[in-house]
Amino acid sequence: MIEFLVDETGSMSSYIGGTISGFNTFLDEQKTVPGEARFTLTKFSTYNVVTPYQDLELSMVQPLSAQTFVPSGGTNLYDTMGARIEAIRQRIQDWTVQPRVLFVVLTDGEDNSNHVHRPEVLRTMITGMSAEGWTFVYLGAHGRALQVAHNLGFHTANVKQFDGRAMHQTMTDLSASTKAYRAGAAQAAQPGFFS
């Protein structure tokens, strides 16, 4: 199960091309990996939090485009992350076999609009679900990405910091690590997603 959160806030306007091409490359490469994978995409901003795909077979997921990725609004990162973690937990609580969960966050900014989920609450959620085998990955384009991710409970080896020019390479690295994860080479548990 791959849960992918994509920042669609106004500041992501600087990264439209890289986000679209990088995400689509990731998607195309994952579709070549043998085996089933369920994919959920959530795009977020203070104007809108939308989940166009939830638990959809990866082969059915459509690429992003300039029509489906339109940045605007502020960064409600913490509330979106918290809501998605809670949604997954609720969906899978009665499943006979618990899925391996890969939770990926792509953002260019720090949260500036949270109302429900404080950082310390998110850290408890992330460390708790990591202990249950979930893998959390943070891709951040801002200067404090490593510190912010660490404060939220992401393992250092599961964090990538990049600038706009490196967006496509970052997504290529994510895809390679996701292939290994899905093949079982990385196993379900942290740390070391990018190692």
Tens of pLDDT, residue by residue over 35-77, are 899 999 999 998 889 999 999 999 999 999 999 999 999 889 9
pLDDT at 190: 47
Overall pTM > 0.85: yes
For tokens 């792509």, what's the residue?
106
pLDDT at 165: 77
Q: At what angle do helices 167-183 and 16-30 cross, to 10 degrees?
A: 20
Q: At what angle do helices 77-92 and 119-131 cross, to 10 degrees?
A: 30
Q: Which residues contact 35 (CB under 8 A, 6 or more apart)?
A: 182
Tens of pLDDT, residue by residue over 86-143, are 999 999 999 998 899 999 999 987 777 778 888 999 999 999 999 999 999 999 987 7
pLDDT at 191: 56
Tens of pLDDT, residue by residue over 157-194, are 999 988 777 888 899 999 999 999 998 854 544 457 98
pLDDT at 187: 52
Domains and CATH numbers, the chain: 2-183 (3.40.50.410)
Q: Are 140 and 149 spatial neighbours (Cβ–Cβ below 8 Å)? A: yes
pLDDT at 162: 82
pLDDT at 194: 87
Q: Are 167 and 141 spatial neighbours (Cβ–Cβ below 8 Å)? A: yes
Mean pLDDT of the chain: 90
Range from 19-23, 144-148, 150-154, 170-174 carrying the lowest mean pLDDT: 144-148
pLDDT at 189: 46
Q: Which residues contact 172 (CB under 8 A, 6 or more apart)?
A: 22, 25, 26
Q: Which residues contact 175 (CB under 8 A, 6 or more apart)?
A: 25, 26, 29, 30
pLDDT at 110: 76
Mark 111-146 as b/e (b = at least 16 C-beta within 10 Å).
bebbeebeeeebeebbeebbeeebbbbbbbbbeebb
What is the pairing mode between strands 159-161 and 2-7?
A: unpaired
* Chain-centroid distance, C-alpha 60: 19
